[in-house]
Amino acid sequence: MKNLLTPFIFLFASAIAYSQPRIISGPMLGPVELRDAKVWVEVSPEVKLVSLQYNKKGDTKTKTIFYKGELGNDFNPLQFTVGGLDFNTTYLYRIWINGKATAKGGEFTTKDLWQWRKQPPEFSFLTGSCSYFNEPVYDRPGIPYGKDSSIFEPMAKEKAAFMLWLGDAWYTREVDYYSEWGLWNRASHDRAVPITQNFLKSMPQFAIWDDHDYGPNDIGKNYILKEASRKVFNSYFCNPSSGENGQGTYTMTSWGDADIFMTDDRWWRSADKIKDSVNGKPNPEKRMLGAQQMEWLKNSLLYSTATFKIIAVGSQVLNPVSPYDTWWNFPAEYEELMSFLKEYKINGVVFLTGDRHHSEIIKVERPGTYPLFDITVSPLTSGTHKFSGPEKNNPYRVLGIDEKQNYGRFSFSGLRGSRKMTVEYLGLKGEKISEWSITEKELKTP
């Protein structure tokens, strides 16, 4: 009798443990600035009270912040903003549930106040796209699309300033596309994957989205759940801001002498099948970023004094031979940006993109000024492919990596006026696959 009851006792105990108040995923670091920092966490519906306790490293005096928002829902992602901090200072924090300390916590170091005081800092950030985690009951039949997720282990050990997700941080499935609950569940499920937890708290996390963490494959402004999807995205990442007037998810961040402009290539995106040209001229009705976001991007580029101006986009930008969606295929808007960059002599611009399930660097010459580069980093855990067709020997490619999972490390070094940006592609174990670099002087208008 004892042996017969054992499995039922185990299942009963497991059910009780699963229904206990707990942290489902996180903590995850959001932006860490000079005077404040954001910490994200998701808790179970049984939780009644969540707080964050923090202190300076080496100081036993603690402060506590209580979460004052709504709890008890099916999904409970929440954010803390820790303010009044000292710059260039390390803080420790711990999450408390229902008045009791948990084992979940970490540390962060605020930015240093270097402007007008020091040389630009040497720093690096990580980046990548296309993170697919298998869930067989909802996945398509056949060979699993999600590959080795151990790539997040070496990433967690990097001493980088932050991580920038380049889209497809999770992949919605058919069961999610037209279900608002499904969109929330997909983000919650994939965020809770155990192997990512150390990475999420190891450095600040920023993100742009692309089609799969927005909705169905290749969809744009016609997605009927776009507003719900925007709310989900903003609940599972804590970017500095999210568009304007309740529209879009674009924002930016600055680190050292690099400005990163994080664009939204889905909210205003015309259908890919709309004609590129009408009567031999670029079709002004076919847009990817949309008028509101384009105005923001232009003004932001003009305002920026950063040595490097990195424009992050979910889709590739420059690749003239790509058989898939690129900004190149939205010629009116593409030419509008290219003309603007040249007319106003915007220096230091490079594009950073994801989506393609291979990594490469595309170079496009511009008569009379410096060339533009499109640096693609993909994939983290999703399927890969082999260069083929018109892309097999792409004449615009200066570096290419196919059939390998990888992430990118961007490093910035050198004295003011002689800065250099180095791009390293790293594999599953953090091993270097390839490297490329460029100086600020190579990104200046003659």
Please report, for the chain, the start and end positions of each structural domain, with discontinuous segments joined by +. 17-109, 123-443
Checking if the pLDDT of 11 tops 60, the result is no
pLDDT (0 to 100) of residue 19: 74
**Phi/psi of residue 106, each to 5°?**
175, -155
> Would you place residue 120 in the very low, low, confident or very high pLDDT band (cuts 50, 70, 90)?
very high
pLDDT (0 to 100) of residue 114: 98
What's the whole-number mean pLDDT along residues 368-388? 97
pLDDT (0 to 100) of residue 3: 53
Please answer whether residues 82 and 30 qualify as being in contact, where contact means their C-beta atoms are separated by less than 8 angstroms.
no
Checking if the pLDDT of 202 tops 90, the result is yes
Work out the mean pLDDT of the chain and round it to a whole number.
Answer: 95
C-alpha–C-alpha distance, residues 333 and 291, integer Å = 9
Checking if the pLDDT of 8 tops 90, the result is no
Checking if the pLDDT of 424 tops 90, the result is yes
Q: Which CATH class is domain 123-443?
A: alpha beta
Instruction: Please report the beta strands in 287-446, taking only residues with DSSP state E, as ranges in sequence order.
Output: 308-313, 349-353, 359-366, 369-376, 397-401, 407-413, 420-426, 432-439
Q: Name the more confident of 3 and 258.
A: 258
Other C-beta atoms within 10 Å of 392: how many? 12
pLDDT in tens, 161-196: 999 999 999 999 999 999 999 999 999 999 999 999
Residue carrying structure tokens 């569940």:
185
pLDDT (0 to 100) of residue 7: 44
> Would you place residue 441 in the very low, low, confident or very high pLDDT band (cuts 50, 70, 90)?
very high
Checking if the pLDDT of 15 tops 70, the result is no
pLDDT in tens, 320-344: 999 888 999 999 999 999 999 999 9
The CA-atom distances, in angstroms, between 224 and each of 253, 267, 268, 356, 379 are 30, 11, 13, 25, 28
Q: Which CATH class is domain 17-109?
A: mainly beta
What's the whole-number mean pLDDT along residues 203-210? 98
The reported pTM is 0.95
pLDDT (0 to 100) of residue 325: 84
Other C-beta atoms within 10 Å of 1: how many? 5
